[in-house]
Structure 1
Amino acid sequence: MTLTELYQSRVTQGDLTADPAQSALVAQLSRVADDLAKPLKTGWFAKKPDPIKGLYVWGGVGRGKSMLMDMFVDCLDVSVRRVHFHAFMQDIHAQMHTARQGGVDDALKPVADAVIADVRCLAFDEMQITDITDAMIVGRLFTLLHEGGVVVVTTSNRVPDDLYKDGLNRALFLPFIEQLKQQMVVWEMTEGADYRQNRLAGSDSYFTPLNSASAEAFRAVWSDLTEASQTAPLVLKVQGRDVVLPQFHNSVARAEFGDLCGKPLGPADYLAIAQTCKVLMLENIPTLGRHNFNEAKRFVTLVDALYEARVQLIATAAAKPEMLYLEGEGSFEFERTASRLREMQSDDWRSADQA
């Protein structure tokens, strides 16, 4: 079944609502799929085929970009790797480190060759460049992959010209942006309904107390937002540390309170989480006070990072926001956090521009 046929069948069955913006993106993805399906000529006199242009899809959150990317991957008959861009770059850095230990002069070349030997298509979620080390290698990496016949398809919330915006030594990164525009079709997904917003609009996002009913309601939201897809951990590298989001899919992360607040994480870690996620689902927030003062301080910092980045928080908690922190040092200061937690539950806050 082609991607167009699969999309139309899901619309016909009522699983999806017909959407002109999504249909237009299906056509763009189908162009890539059709080019990848063409047989490669072999033999002594076979002319090397022209490189296939990839696709860079950018636009607001919740438009269905990642869902259509999943469908695109499912319809391909070639080797493909579907991965979050940040996780891919972390893997590249790890492999380069191993290559350097082997004494090679050019650590990137064997790593790129391994990717070329393994896949014909790389399907990325959420391409963004926030790290100077990524910025310094991504241009040459993409050149090697392109020359090796690997086709890149990626989603992003940013137009290419805004990648690594205000980054250190950004002038050195600008040639990559022009290179990207030449190697890929840049497609803006400007219209259409925000389906993630529609799922959350009018629904609860803060479940209390901690009991089986809250846990079941929380799981139902998770299943809906991830479309019951298989999830995997995402490891963020922050100042040399590993920050682990235990479950991650389509910009939605799920973690326990202890995963993010029970460990010695700081503002930089929470900022990285806020830059990576569009929705954070946090389970089992306990009552707070002098008995877990450090965890409470980290929770305050986490909420501030999510609030400023307009990341939607869905949580299970031992008590309502105003009743979470009732005694001990910091209880007065927590009133602002409680106010923010309450505000983040409103549809008005959710529907505000998150670009």
Structure 2
Amino acid sequence: MRDFHVFVRFCSSQRNLPKDARINLLATYCDNVKKGKIQDDPNQLRIAQVLQNLQSELWSYEKRSPTLLTRFFKTEVQVPRGVYIYGAVGRGKTMLMDMFYDCVERPQKKQRQHFHSFMLDVHNRIHEWKKTSNVERKSSSYDPIPAVAAQISEKNTVLCLDEFQVTDIADAMILKRLFDHIFRNGSVLVATSNRPPNDLYKNGLQRSNFLPFIDILKRNCEALALDSGVDYRSQLNANSDTPFYFVKGEGNVSAEMDRLFKIVCSHETDTIRSRTLVIKGRNVEFKKCCGQVLDTTFDELCDRPLGAVDYVFLSQVFHTIFIRDIPQLTVKQKSPARRFITLIDTLYDHRVRVVCSADAPPASLFTTVRDESLVTDENRMLMSDLGIDNPQELGTIFSGEEELFAFDRTVSRLNQMQTRKYWDQTTHEHKA
């Protein structure tokens, strides 16, 4: 640890260097350690050093321009290798990626997105290309992926994607070709994930078609494990003096939720009323709102066809959301469970305050089951569409193991969202 503190002093000494020579990311990280904003963690420092090296490469990469000689001999410019950071929840992956994103001054073309939002944008671009393209469907050149990848690469030399996790077969089937083109176009990926590359889309439908993407990812990104053994979000939760998550049956939960709702609404200049939001041309109604505060239920948010785009819209309209009656979920509620994971991810990313009442503590909200009831008509139709003949495969395909893994992140974020620190740092402006 002595070497770590020597390095902190070294980083601090770099502040007065010329801008081009400043070790931006490492100086920022070490300053935060010195000021007590984050704990000194050798594992995080190791990742920060790799990201600093990438930052330096990007500076030269952006300034490098093709000459007549390189054009004549078609010499390719060496694209910097990206970074894929994986590990358990609450270890600092997102913090390091955001620090890297903020410190990258050149190139200016950069984008930071949650993976779910990124893929939603990709599917929207594909849909738009199909609507506007003049290429006939039967033509061999009818392929939206290269065009969509070109659009993304043109706008982003650096692409930062948080919570890289593949659970949707529609995403899995296009990722290989999409990122093959993105990397060939010269874009650099920095991503965080709870899973190592080899475990992405584990037990997923038609995973054999997804495996080539893993090879492309590992070839273009350095995979780094970050696991200090300390969940810093759980440590933050220990300092919370006000509960914002209530387990039903432990006191008068409904009355306590009502009391907090009145307190929060006392700062609003509106009456308590129902409200209909227009999202992408659709009417989405909620029964109880007051200004920028929404009082709703799990069923209203997750048991009807809402998705990431709807949750992003809600996070822009409301600064506080009360979610009542969260049930204990099993694989039988797989779609609502996936929506709940996406909902919490989105609200967390946008620093929306959340008050919850649930049937169980966060760590016990989702459990897997294996029984014959999983063979529903919907599952049989999906098997037919995908050409799966063996019903025994349902045991792994619909076991809910992928959702359970993703739910670890949800539990960690729910814990952090209860803390006073999380509530106090909510600074985003929300406009209806």
Provide the residue aligned with 1:83 in structure 2.
Answer: 113
Distance 1:85 1:170, change over 3 A: same
Can you list the C-alpha shifts for 1:137-170, whole angstroms capped at 9, x where unaligned?
1111111111111000100001111111111111
Question: Closer, same or farther in 2 for the Cα pair 1:84/1:315, shift >3 Å?
Answer: closer
Instruction: Give the superposition deviation at 1:23.
Output: 0.5
2:355 equivalent to 1:283: yes
Cα shift at 1:130: 0.7
Residue 221 of structure 1 is matched in structure 2 by none
Partner of 1:43: 67
Q: Alignment RMSD, CA only?
A: 3.7
User: 1:210: which partner in 2?
Assistant: 258
Tell me the equivalent position of 1:100. Answer: 130
Q: What amino acid is aligned across from residue 365 of structure 2 in structure 1? A: L
1:177 maps to 2:245: no
Letter of the structure 2 residue corresponding to residue 242 of structure 1:
G
Amino acid at match of 1:88: F
In structure 1, distance between residues paired with 2:218 and 2:54: 16
Displacement after TM superposition at 1:56 (Å): 0.7
User: Counterpart amino acid of 1:42?
Assistant: P
SS of 2:189's partner is strand
Residues 302, 337 of structure 2: 8 Å contact kept = no
Q: Distance in 2 between matches of 1:186 and 1:314?
A: 28
The correspondence of residues 18-33 of structure 1 with structure 2, limited to 5 A, is: 18-33=40-55
Q: For 1:195, give the aligned amino acid.
A: Y
Are residues 81 and 303 of structure 1, via their aligned partners in 2, closer, same or farther at CA, if it must alter by over 3 Å? same
1:63 is aligned to 2:91? yes
Equivalent residue runs for 1:106-117 within 5 Å: 106-117=143-154
Return the index of the structure with the highest Cα Rg.
2
Q: Secondary structure at the match of 2:143?
A: coil
What CA distance in whole angstroms lies between the structure 2 residues aligned with 1:199 and 1:215?
A: 24
Query: 2:81 — aligned with what?
Result: 53
The 1:256–1:7 alpha-carbon spacing in structure 2 relative to 1, beyond 3 Å, is same
Q: Is the 1:274–1:305 contact (alpha carbons within 8 Å) kept by the matching residues of 2?
A: no
Map Cα deviations across residues 37-77 of structure 1 (whole Å, 9 max, x no partner): 10212332234311211111000111111111111011112
Q: 1:133 aligns with which of 160, 163, 170?
A: 170
Shift of 1:182: 1.1
Structure 1 residue 113: deviation in Å? 0.9
Deviation of the 1:21 alpha carbon: 1.1
Q: What is the CA-CA distance between 1:238 and the residue it aligns to?
A: 10
Query: Could you tell me which amino acid in structure 2 is paired with residue 72 of structure 1?
Result: F
Does 2:38 match 1:16?
A: yes
Please tell me the residue identity of whatever aligns with 1:283.
V
- Contact kept in structure 2, 1:128 and 1:158, CA below 8 Å: yes
* Residues matched between the structures, number: 278
Deviations 1:233-260 (A, max 9, x none): xxx9999753533339xxxx97433799
How do 1:253-268 and structure 2 match up within 5 A? Answer: 255-257=321-323, 267-268=333-334
Deviation at 1:209, TM superposition (A): 4.6
Instruction: Give the alignment partner of residue 270 of structure 1, picking from 329, 336, 345.
Output: 336
Unaligned runs of 5+ in 1: 217-235, 286-298, 317-343, 346-355
Q: What secondary structure sits across from 1:210 in the alignment?
A: helix
Which residue of 2 is the match for residue 247 of structure 1?
315
Between the aligned partners of 2:263 and 2:178, the Cα distance in structure 1 is 43
- State the distance in 1 between where 2:76 and 2:302 align: 39
1:199 to 236, 243, 263: 236
Q: Report the CA distance shift for 1:54/1:210 in structure 2 as closer, same or farther (over 3 A).
A: same
Distance 1:240 1:97, change over 3 A: farther
Q: Is the 8 A contact 2:169 2:205 kept in 1?
A: yes
Give secondary structure in 1 for the equivalent of 2:116: helix
On the 8 A contact 1:21/1:190 being kept in 2, the answer is yes
Q: Secondary structure at the residue paired with 1:36?
A: helix
Partner-residue secondary structure (3-state), 2:67? coil
Query: TM-score if structure 2 supplies the norm length?
Result: 0.57
- Output the CA distance in 2 between the equivalents of 1:74 and 1:258: 36
* Contact 2:236 2:416 survives alignment (8 Å): no
Who is 1:119 aligned against?
Answer: 156
Determine the C-alpha separation between the residues in 1 that align with 2:53 and 2:362: 42
Residue 68 of structure 2 aligns to a residue whose secondary structure is: coil
Normalized against structure 1, the TM-score is what?
0.68
1:231-289 CA distance string (max 9 Å, x none) = xxxxx9999753533339xxxx974337999xxxx93443114544479764376xxxx
Deviation of 1:215 (Å): 5.8
Secondary structure at 1:149 match in 2: coil
In the alignment, what sits opposite 1:320?
Answer: none
For the residues of structure 2 that align with 1:240 and 1:110, how far apart are their CA atoms?
29
- SS of alignment partner, residue 124 of structure 1: strand
